[in-house]
Amino acid sequence: MKIIMLGAPGAGKGTQAKMLAAKYEIPHISTGDIFRANIKNGTELGAKAKEYMDKGLLVPDELVVDLIMDRFKADDCKKGYILDGFPRTIPQAEALDKALTAVGESIDYAINVEVPDENIVNRMSGRRACVGCGATYHIKYSPTKVEGKCDTCGADLIIRDDDKPETVLNRLNIYHEQTQPLIDYYSAKGVMKEVDGTVDMNDVFDAIVAILGE
């Protein structure tokens, strides 16, 4: 089962991808997780990716394509995989299709988690990160016991650059311009499915499972 998760930044597609990966026992391949790991480890790729992510821009194709294609060759992808954060553009989707076609495979489902921009700005601008241990919170959905202080280590909380409203809006504008066309692309291929991402995450999960089957 080869699945692509679509949805704007902050729509919750990453959370759904992880839950689906656990249920169907296939790997969750997230470019975001790969980028963050590289940033944390101070790699050259991480430094390059951080420059774009801090500005709310998409990471260029050349930094991700080879990495994703190599990932497909791993043994844990034999039963399928869930792609989260790739492809982001039509050229990437075409490159993915070309690579899959070459080995006689294709994407089975493209799942779009639909959430209005206003909801996303409210979600992401409410996030807070600890400067000490890196723990994350949300002022509405998972607040700390003491405002502005981490529950775990007591250090100050900050709004990360990529969670600031102006950055979120910039990321959304880029998404609509570059990534939204993927919905039309996969619809034309007959694999596009859409779910309401504004409801409880467990209800979103149940809706996706109903599409994919037990």
Distance CA 194, CA 183 (A): 9
Tokens in use for 27?
A: 């790997």
Residue 13: active-site member: yes
Closest CA to 171 of 84, 53, 92, 50: 53
Pairing of strands 81-84, 2-6: parallel
Options 149, 160, 164, 193, the catalytic residue: 160
Q: Which of 2, 50, 123, 127 is catalytic?
A: 127
Catalytic choice (50, 88, 123, 128): 88
Closest to 83 measured CA to CA, from 39, 26, 38, 37: 26
Out of 2, 13, 50, 128, which one is annotated catalytic? Answer: 13
The reply to whether 123 belongs to the active site is no
Alpha helices in the chain (DSSP H): 13-24, 31-40, 44-54, 65-71, 90-102, 117-125, 165-174, 181-188, 201-212
Q: Which candidate in 2, 123, 128, 171 is catalytic?
A: 171
127 is catalytic: yes
Catalytic status, residue 128:
no
Read off φ and ψ for residue 21, nearest 5 degrees: -60, -40
Q: Which residues are catalytic?
A: 13, 88, 127, 160, 171
